[in-house]
Amino acid sequence: MLTRTPPPHLPPPAPAPASRQSHSGLGIASFVLSIISGMALFCVVLAAGVIESSTPGGMDESSPQAMVVGLFLFAFMGLALLAAGLGVGGLCQKNRQKIFAILGVVFSAVAVVLVTGLMIFGLMVG
């Protein structure tokens, strides 16, 4: 039985390029939403602090400003939780890069924990 070997003057065939995994769409969405919700939560907390310090006697809890601040606070906390859920979904996808999903989960979890801790601190002090 004869085996065919390539002539000695030809180099061996190049290996096929490794296929790159694409990024998870859920992970990218999680990352973007976590950044947006984190910045928005920071702005809402900053606005609440400015309103509290600029109002004589502090902010009235039944005022329209306090209601709007509370509404935005819970809306952006919900957005951060949505980002965390999308990140977990991105982590569960197979054959996808997971860096954006990991970053989205971490950033949204940090935002939720910090704002929740700030609310608990405010309840304990005030």
The 10s digit of each residue's pLDDT in 103-126 is 999 999 999 999 999 999 988 987
Structure tokens at 16: 């096929």
The CA distance from 74 to 80, in Å, is 10
The CA distance from 47 to 65, in Å, is 10
Residue holding tokens 């969405």?
A: 29
The 10s digit of each residue's pLDDT in 1-17 is 666 766 667 666 666 66
The CA distance from 60 to 64, in Å, is 9
Residue holding tokens 């197979």?
A: 94
Calculate helix-pair angle for 99-125, 25-54, nearest 10 degrees: 20
The pTM of this model reads 0.79
